[in-house]
Chains A and B, each alone.
Chain A
Amino acid sequence: MQSDFRNFSMQTIEEAARLIKEGSEKRKALAEKIVRSLKDASLGESKEGLVIPVESIKLNSTIAGIDSGFMSESMLNVEIVFVRAIAAIFSYENGKLSKASYWPELAPYPEAIITTRAMQNEDVSTHRSLQRLLKEVKLAIDVIERFKPNYCLLDGSIIPQHADKPRNNSKVKPLYRDVIGAFENLFEISHKNNCTLVACVEDSRGTRLKEILSEHANELKEMECYDISLLNYILSKGERTFAFSYAKDINEHPILKDFDKKFSSSIYAFYLRASNYDVPLRVEFLSLSKKLSEKASEIANVIYSLSNAHREYSYPSVLIEADLRARLKPNEVEVIRNKLFNKLQLSTGFIIKRRSRRPF
């Protein structure tokens, strides 16, 4: 019995290994071909080449990183979302961190957002995600106005994701509109304060760049892969791609079309490789005035300088710090939950879902 299982496992593993290897080799070969064929091409909205070198610079600026941690407690009649949004604000002098500030404080207690409305299952997760986004965006606005950073870095995308958009008749729709409004406000405030708004996507599943390259390399149309899987064979450490618009057609994009055109047409992205043994990082940004290629290079230099110290992990240090500060620990949530139960003096059977209180 055991040996059958072992044989089965070995076969599965070998098969998986073969598939991965084949896929990688295919992508590698294709990537090499693309690099050769697009050597002198002007690509994307920035009209740059495929690969552009990035510089490690000695920073002399203030950079804010925004992140949040969240946990949710789903009970029979109530949904509680615990969110801790925090901003780490780093000031650099001659490339070295000279001061670190935090907003609203070093270790704020998580905020509990309570909803008692009955929601569909899919709305529950959208509601959580939107609540979190709203907190982050509002915090970013607050930080830009108070600290006037040169750069404000968001963890994740610069706009809400497809999954964050509720159905038209959803009870969460008003919240979604609030989030869009908050983002627009953030774009406006950052522009007004001369603060460059940048978002770093840790593990991007974007395919927009592949779409652009497909126009120049037919083989790519057939290949199913994410941008970063392909770029892994194209970019080396200290290189970025050309900058490209967030969507091919903003009127067709489910999220961008909800934004004011002034903003939706000014959101761009590029990929940057900051470490030898980590996949490229997707960087999204808002560019309302400066020449796109210049803006992209400026941002790439900053992000690269903040992310290139570790060979196997590239992510801006200010966002690492914000993540550490924002992360919620289960016992923090438990304290609030226990206080709530004490107050209600009800049996947990009336509140906690059956699946969450199985006796064994």
Chain B
Amino acid sequence: MEKTYVGTVISTINSPSPSSVDFVVTNETVHRGQFVEMEHEHGIMLALITNVVKTNKYFERADSVKEFEASGKAILEQFPTAEWEYIVANTRPLGIFTESGIKRPSVPPSPGTKVYLARESLLKKFYGFDDNGVYLGRLEFHDLDVKLNMTKLLKKHLAVLSISGAGKSHTVACIIEELLERKKEQGRIACIVFDPHGEYSSFAEPAKQGYVDYSDKTLLIQGKQIRIGVPNLNVGMLAGIIPGISLAQRRELSRILSELKKEMRSGNGPFDLSKLKDAIASDSEIKTNTKSALLAWLSELESLHLFGKTDLPSIRDIVMPGKLAVIDLSDIIDLRKKQIIVSYFAHKLFNERRKQRIAPFLLVVEEAHQFTPEKASEEQAVSREILRTIAREGRKFGASLCLISQRPVQLDTTTLSQCNTKLILRITNPYDLDHIAKSAEAIDKRSLDMITSLQVGEALLIGEAVGYPLFFKVRQRKSMPSKHEMTLEEAAIQFEESVAKKNSESKAYL
């Protein structure tokens, strides 16, 4: 393939060096974020354009520009300013393709070296794109699909971070589509989404024209339908839910639970919270204080209407290779109740996977800062510990985590730092940027600076999946967009139409 010449390396105070190479653009147009290649004494050097600067001697002095412009004789009309405009591109060398592999640059290219647009084959090799991988989008300014190896992308967990409305859910929907479309021989994993706003429920709906239908591969579970089987709880799980439980109270609760489970196995059938409460109330060994405290807590749990005799749904029913389970928590307002659901099902998923009773899975946690918050007491962060555990140990068992958050600063640093790949869309809050920088070794200052200027749909991928920071444009989703992607105008029209319909129906009835 013919290489496209774009410029020549120039000599400045700071360039060329192993970490910075500037070139004057002599041909074509180059863009920030574009890749270039150049000859190097050790092989072919690949570099990323980090900035493009236009200069013009006639416009360097503000006072002179003002003078000329104020005189009514524009500089453009008096001097050949266009002849003086030149473009300098600053690049960051990424690696050198040598005969023995890709090496980090330790010697700069010489001034005068010709610079070319990077060939696709080179980029593909550098980023390790996989033809069978997860197709996330296009490399901007290059005719190249970003297809990432599934293991590299997900095994050591993924965090998707950005401000609200920058395309987090869209990007994750693309990942889910890719997982659902994988063939058996490619290796299929299950996908479970904790969805606090019902953004993924559209996967379960029959697709409208122009969209791909994933409804046959999707199971939608409404939060209100969920029940946690009390016999499946152990005292550890309950202690995580009940704030401030003492050792003595734990011991008594454990004893009674064991007795009830024994009775269940002997043929009495499963039990629920009210039966547990009855057992505690009628137990003669528990001290009165302990008894009343336990009963009070259990009554409070009962009021959540979350506990039953069996799990609903059963984990084994929802975790299937190549299938998606959306746990829609949008009808639950109580954050604690949502945390209990996430905590319980995450425990179950992890434990079942450890025992290899379910398929390897990707657990997607939307609004992850709600479920694994940074600064919150144990009682207010019921699900944090299990998510930390999956983040720490999940990779050994094929239990992958995908955390999505619009407030990285409120996200638990321990969990976030275990997400070895970070997919970052637009972020503007300096505290969030700082938090990301602290939890991601792979990110450098220049990449961090570029995050603030990302447009909707543009993403930066750093970490395990790519090795070097990668900016790309996220592809269009194939599945139906969620109802949240509706414009304000559309929502308003829809509302008024539904009200009018109701009115006419009641009129007709009367």
Contacts and interface: CB of A to CB of B under 8 A. Distances in A.
Interface of A: 88, 90, 95-97, 100, 106, 308-313, 317, 320-321, 324
A309 B78 contact: yes
B80 A308 contact: no
A106 B68 CA distance: 24
A216 B22 CA distance: 65
Max chain B Cβ within 10 angstroms of own Cβ: one of A88, A90, A95, A309: A309
Contacts of B68: 309-310
B123 to A, nearest CB: 34
A11 to B, nearest CB: 34
Contact of A311 (B67, B77, B80, B84): B67
B208 interface: no
Contacts of A320: 79
B77 to A, nearest CB: 5
Contact of B79 (A311, A312, A313, A321): A321
Interface in B23-81: 57, 64, 67-68, 71, 73, 77-80
Given A309-B67, A317-B78, A321-B79, 15 more contacts: A90-B80, A95-B77, A97-B77, A97-B79, A97-B80, A100-B83, A106-B83, A308-B71, A309-B68, A309-B71, A309-B78, A310-B64, A310-B67, A311-B67, A324-B57
Max chain A Cβ within 10 angstroms of own Cβ: one of B64, B67, B78: B78
Contacts of A97: 77-80
Interface of B: prevailing SS: helix
Given A309-B67, A311-B67, A96 B80 contact: no
A58 to B, nearest CB: 11
Nearest to A95: B77
A88 B58 CA distance: 15
A317 B71 contact: no
17 contacts: A88-B80, A97-B77, A97-B78, A100-B83, A308-B71, A308-B73, A310-B67, A310-B71, A311-B67, A311-B71, A312-B67, A313-B67, A317-B78, A317-B79, A320-B79, A321-B79, A321-B80
Interface residues of B, number: 12
Contacts of B64: 310, 313
Nearest to B77: A96
Contacts of B79: 97, 317, 320-321
Contacts of B80: 88, 90, 97, 100, 321
Nearest to A90: B80
A283 B13 CA distance: 42
Interface string B403-417: 000000000000000
Contacts of A309: 67-68, 71, 73, 78
Contacts of A312: 67
Contacts of B84: 324
A45 B68 CA distance: 35
Nearest 4 A-B pairs (CB), nearest first? A100-B80, A309-B73, A309-B71, A96-B77
Interface of B: 57, 64, 67-68, 71, 73, 77-80, 83-84
Contacts of B71: 308-311
A169 to B, nearest CB: 45
A90 B81 CA distance: 12
Contacts of B73: 308-309
A184 B388 CA distance: 91
B172 to A, nearest CB: 53
A96 B79 CA distance: 9
Nearest to B69: A309
Contacts of B78: 97, 309, 317
Nearest to B84: A324
A313 B64 CA distance: 9
Contacts of B67: 309-313
B397 to A, nearest CB: 62
A172 B235 CA distance: 107
Nearest to A99: B80
A106 to B, nearest CB: 7
Max chain B Cβ within 10 angstroms of own Cβ: one of A88, A90, A97, A310: A310
Contacts of B83: 100, 106
A309 B64 CA distance: 10
A126 to B, nearest CB: 32
Contacts of A308: 71, 73
Nearest to B82: A100
Contacts of A321: 79-80
A311 to B, nearest CB: 6
A339 to B, nearest CB: 14
Nearest to A88: B80
A317 B84 CA distance: 14
Contacts of A317: 78-79
A27 B355 CA distance: 104
A327 to B, nearest CB: 10
A68 B397 CA distance: 76
Nearest to B71: A309
A25 B400 CA distance: 88
A97 B73 CA distance: 11
A312 B64 CA distance: 9
A280 B318 CA distance: 90
A105 to B, nearest CB: 12
A308 B78 CA distance: 11
A90 B78 CA distance: 9
A309 B68 CA distance: 5
A348 B64 CA distance: 43
Nearest to B73: A309
A309 B66 CA distance: 10
Max chain A Cβ within 10 angstroms of own Cβ: one of B64, B71, B83: B83
Nearest to B75: A309
Nearest to B83: A100
Nearest to A311: B67
Max chain A Cβ within 10 angstroms of own Cβ: one of B64, B68, B77: B77
Contacts of A310: 64, 67-68, 71
A274 to B, nearest CB: 11
